[in-house]
Amino acid sequence: MNRGPSWFNIVSMVVGFAFLYLPIVLLVIYSFNAGRNVAVWEGWSTRWYVELMSNDQLLAAAWVTIRVALLSATIATILGTMAALALVRGGLFYGRSLFSGMVYAPLVMPDVITGLSLLLLFVAVGFSRGFWTITMAHITFSMCFVAVVVQSRLISFDKSLEEAAMDLGAPPMKAFFAVTLPIIAPAVAAGWMLAFTLSLDDLVIASFTTGPGATTLPIKIYSAVRLGVSPEINAVCTILIGIVTIGVIAASLSMKRKEVRRRRDERMAAAANAA
Amino acid sequence: MAKQALGPIRRSFAPWDDPEAKPLIHFRGVTKRYGDFTAVDGIDLPIYEREFHALLGPSGCGKTTLMRMLAGFEEPTEGDVLLDGASLKGVPPYRRPVNMMFQSYALFPHMSVEKNVAFGLKQDGMAKSEIADRVAEMLTLVRLQDFAKRKPHQLSGGQRQRVALARSLAKKPRVLLLDEPLGALDKKLREATQFELTDLQVDLGMTFLIVTHDQEEAMTVADRIAVMDQGVIRQVATPAEIYEQPASRYVADFIGDINILEGRLEKGANGISRLVVPEDGLVVETDQPVESDAQNAWYAIRPEKLRVSLDQPADIAVNTVSGEIWDIAYLGDVSIYHVKLDNGTIMRATTANTTRLVERPISWDDRVWLTWDRNAGVVLTS
Ligand SMILES: Nc1ncnc2c1ncn2[C@@H]1O[C@H](COP(=O)(O)OP(=O)(O)OP(=O)(O)O)[C@@H](O)[C@H]1O
Ligand SMILES: [Mg+2]
């Protein structure tokens, strides 16, 4: 009956993927262009990558970005996980549904508004803007994403596991770290990854909350491009794409490996029981 | 061999009859409310050292809630739970010397079987070598020594159940709480495990409190059964007493099959009283002492206490009724007869099939007589 994908399906798939990936492929190819003019192909070369290595400004921006992303993702994961725990486990405290709803608000809030409001706050409080204000801003908005991811895992978490740990003599904190956390770890890790990438590619909020001496890579690229696209920028982007791709592939491979191992274990158990 | 030696000891085990005996656990006037819903309503229940006690009742009657108050996961709204005479009020679950085997087993999925069993011992700060010994001992006890390195998802349901049991026994708790421990097992395995549990309890000399809604399970494993209904205890007694001398129609009906006749009680001479079913003058005689005369009462008699015969018995003076066979269920070991009495009441009678009946002598629409002894049934006033 099923005669495989129809022509229509094939065409729409090709068009869809082309739309998604053609610009990226172009960017990657042009990062290896020997000439300076981004619109004219002049042969293969890794020249721009070499030049990139001596572009201190760009490297500094990359370093700032990575530090902000690592720090904000880690703190956001801790705070977001705590928020999720409070929302799922806190019992029916007063105003809980209001809080649950409010966790979602920053997810749909336009970045411009988040950025602007944070800027106003920092100005009002009198913080000098720079590395720490960007980090704080990123913690604020990525924490909500972490909370949502972890919350959905916690809802399906069998609470009797934690009770069993306490029943066996573990105080609540110990029970959390010995039992709950290892079990929800994949969700927490996914939350961290999400927070990390959100921070990595944020332009809008970072530009609102940044100050002198703390230029992130997206800000740097954006301002560089406004002066004209340079092949160096293509090279930076290609490296970023490479990192993200490797990350995604590694994550999905390890998930797949775990899944395969689990299946094999279950088959073994079934066989052992049948015998 | 050892089991036989323990037989007489067990039969004489009845600390609840000893007014001097101090209960190990004492629920005293325990009430638990959730909002305006009362899940447990003023329960008084002493449980003694080395007792295998069952909480039996229909779903939602508050069994788990009562047990969780002992484990420390819920605090009573009113009343108190005592252990060794001391109140457990405010003692968190991780400081109570009781362990629980959860209905869902609650095995830690990220730990191997041995790590699961060792978990509680580690919390006590026991030495590593000692932990290893105890874990090995426990796994041998539940016959899982070859599965120490497996993860819970690599085990069958029955094996998981045994890991959960080993884990909750490892700390040698004062009381082991079992919440429907065998609910997820198939019938055969469940029955085998029931006997294993009783053996284990006797061998270890521990106190077990089991929650179940399966009356056969409660009868098989327990020294005493507390029959619960909507948050209250209806009767606490040994399985035999519960079965033979139920305190109320609720208990009689909940445990096993029973015929109940409603009528008026008439106190008679020589300690023999009569229950008269008003509509048709059916009279039941009983030698059970009754307190008051001329009150409404029920007569409850188990189907296996009724004798079924095709011929009219010679002595028809006492407890004889006749009717037609309405339905027959042949179960192999026993046959159940539904007899429609002349007044329309249906009574159930079971007879053991002691001979191999190729042709059943009693058949549909046969006229039969049911007879029973004066002491075969009980008079109930509630
Ligand atoms: N946390 C709670 N909040 C509100 N009501 C509850 C709570 N826990 C239990 N109940 C109610 O208390 C009653 C008794 O519950 P419990 O779990 O003790 O029943 P059970 O006898 O163990 O039943 P089952 O055999 O189905 O396990 C139920 O009606 C249940 O809905
Ligand atoms: Mg229950």
CATH number at residue A107: 1.10.3720.10
In the listed set B250, B283, B307, which residue is the last one of a domain according to the structure?
B250
B66 and chain A in contact, CB less than 8 A? no
Considering the domain boundaries, does residue B140 fall inside one? no
B357 and B210 co-located in one domain: no
Mean pLDDT value of segment A46-74? 88
Give the number of other Cβ atoms within 10 Å of residue A200's Cβ.
Answer: 21
Contacts of A168 in chain B (CB under 8 A): 94, 99, 119-120, 123, 167-168, 171
B154 and chain A in contact, CB less than 8 A? yes
Highest mean pLDDT among A162-171, B4-13, B323-332: A162-171
Q: Is B12 in the pocket of ligand 1 (CB under 6 A)?
A: no
Q: Is B39 in the pocket of ligand 1 (CB under 6 A)?
A: yes
A110 and A34 co-located in one domain: no
Mean pLDDT value of segment B194-207? 89
**Distance (Å) from CA B64 to ligand 2 centroid:** 4
Give CA–CA dist B71/B68, Å, rounded: 5
The ipTM, to two decimals, is: 0.80
Mean pLDDT value of segment A124-144? 90
pLDDT of residue A21: 87
Mean pLDDT value of segment B48-77? 93
Q: Which residues, in sequence order, are CB contacts of B37 under 8 Å at separation 6+?
A: none
Residue B50 has pLDDT above 80, yes or no: yes
Residue B368 has pLDDT above 90, yes or no: no
**Distance (Å) from CA B115 to ligand 1 centroid:** 31
Considering the domain boundaries, does residue A230 fall inside one? yes
B35 and chain A in contact, CB less than 8 A? no
Which of A68-82, A251-265, B161-175 has the least mean pLDDT?
A251-265
Highest mean pLDDT among B285-299, B332-346, B348-362: B332-346
pLDDT of residue B374: 80
B246 and B262 co-located in one domain: no
DSSP-assigned letters across all residues of B161-225: HHHHHHHHHTT--SEEEEESTTTTS-HHHHHHHHHHHHHHHHHHT-EEEEEES-HHHHHHH-SEE
Instruction: State the amino acid at position A166 in one-letter form.
Output: M
Task: Say which residue, B90 or A42, is predicted with more confidence.
Answer: B90
B220 and B312 co-located in one domain: no
Considering the domain boundaries, does residue B22 fall inside one? yes
Mutate to test the interface with B, among A89, A158, A161, A167 (most CBs of B within 10 A): A167
B278 and B245 co-located in one domain: no
B282 and B338 co-located in one domain: yes
Considering the domain boundaries, does residue B6 fall inside one? no
Mean pLDDT value of segment B287-316? 80
Nearest to B108 among A166, A179, A266 (CB): A179
pLDDT digits (tens, 9 = 90+) for A181-222: 999 998 898 889 889 988 988 899 999 998 887 888 888 888
B291 and B263 co-located in one domain: yes
**Distance (Å) from CA B39 to ligand 1 centroid:** 7
Which of B33-47, B189-203, B312-326 has the least mean pLDDT?
B312-326
Contact B271, B287 (CB under 8 A): yes
Q: Which secondary-structure segment (H or E) carries B228?
A: strand B224-229
Structure-token pair, residue A231: 């092949």
Considering the domain boundaries, does residue B261 fall inside one? yes
When the pLDDT of each residue in chain B is averaged and rounded to a whole number, the result is 86
A124 and A28 co-located in one domain: no
Sheet holding B232-237, edge to edge: B98-101, B175-179, B207-212, B52-56, B224-229, B232-237
pLDDT digits (tens, 9 = 90+) for B9-30: 455 788 888 888 889 999 999 9
- A166 contacts B94? CB cut-off 8 A: yes
Give how many domains chain A has, as a whole number: 2
Mutate to test the interface with B, among A158, A159, A168 (most CBs of B within 10 A): A168
B39 and B58 co-located in one domain: yes
Q: Is B88 in the pocket of ligand 1 (CB under 6 A)?
A: no
B304 and B366 co-located in one domain: yes
Structure-token pair, residue B379: 């008079």
pLDDT of residue A165: 95
Which CATH number belongs to the domain containing residue B242 in this structure?
Answer: 3.40.50.300
Residue B163 has pLDDT above 90, yes or no: yes
B298 and B239 co-located in one domain: no
A24 and A70 co-located in one domain: no
A101 and A231 co-located in one domain: yes
A197 and A112 co-located in one domain: yes
Of B264, B245, B278, B255, nearest in space to B377 by CA: B245
DSSP-assigned letters across all residues of A22-44: HHHHHHHHHTTBSSS-TTS---B
List the residue whose alpha carbon is closest to atom 16 of ligand 1.
B62
Considering the domain boundaries, does residue B108 fall inside one? no
Q: Is B65 in the pocket of ligand 1 (CB under 6 A)?
A: yes
Q: Which secondary-structure segment (H or E) carries B250?
A: helix B249-254
B214 and B237 co-located in one domain: yes
A37 and A153 co-located in one domain: no
Give how many domains chain B has, as a whole number: 2
pLDDT bucket at B359, cuts 50 / 70 / 90: low
Considering the domain boundaries, does residue A274 fall inside one? no
pLDDT of residue B3: 37
CA distance A171 to chain B (A): 6
Minimum-distance ligand 1 atom for the alpha carbon of B213: 25
Which residues form the domain of B305? 257-380
Contact B100, B180 (CB under 8 A): no
Considering the domain boundaries, does residue B123 fall inside one? no
Considering the domain boundaries, does residue B166 fall inside one? no
Q: Rounded to whole angstroms, what are the CA distances from B43 to B15, B39, B247, B322, B379? A: 20, 11, 17, 44, 26
pLDDT of residue A240: 83
Considering the domain boundaries, does residue A102 fall inside one? yes
Considering the domain boundaries, does residue A221 fall inside one? yes
Mean pLDDT value of segment B252-273? 82
pLDDT bucket at B5, cuts 50 / 70 / 90: very low
- A169 contacts B102? CB cut-off 8 A: no
A248 and A138 co-located in one domain: yes
A35 and A72 co-located in one domain: no
Which CATH number belongs to the domain containing residue B281 in this structure?
Answer: 2.40.50.140
Considering the domain boundaries, does residue A51 fall inside one? no
Residue B314 has pLDDT above 70, yes or no: yes
Mean pLDDT value of segment B25-50? 93
Q: Which residues, in sequence order, are CB contacts of A163 under 8 Å at separation 6+?
A: B73, B93, B100, B102, B106
A15 and A91 co-located in one domain: no
A97 and A124 co-located in one domain: yes
Q: Which residues, in sequence order, are CB contacts of A271 under 8 Å at separation 6+?
A: none
A106 and A27 co-located in one domain: no
Give the number of other Cβ atoms within 10 Å of residue B147's Cβ.
Answer: 20
Percent of chain A with pLDDT over 90: 27
A15 and A113 co-located in one domain: no
Give CA–CA dist A120/B280, Å, rounded: 92
List the residue whose alpha carbon is closest to atom 27 of ligand 1.
B59
Q: Is B302 in the pocket of ligand 1 (CB under 6 A)?
A: no
pLDDT of residue B351: 87
List the residue whose alpha carbon is closest to atom 20 of ligand 1.
B60
When the pLDDT of each residue in chain A is averaged and rounded to a whole number, the result is 85
Which residues form the domain of A220? 56-269
pLDDT bucket at B322, cuts 50 / 70 / 90: confident
B374 and B286 co-located in one domain: yes
Mean pLDDT value of segment B319-330? 85
Instruction: State the amino acid at position A96 in one-letter form.
Output: R
B143 and chain A in contact, CB less than 8 A? no
pLDDT bucket at A275, cuts 50 / 70 / 90: very low
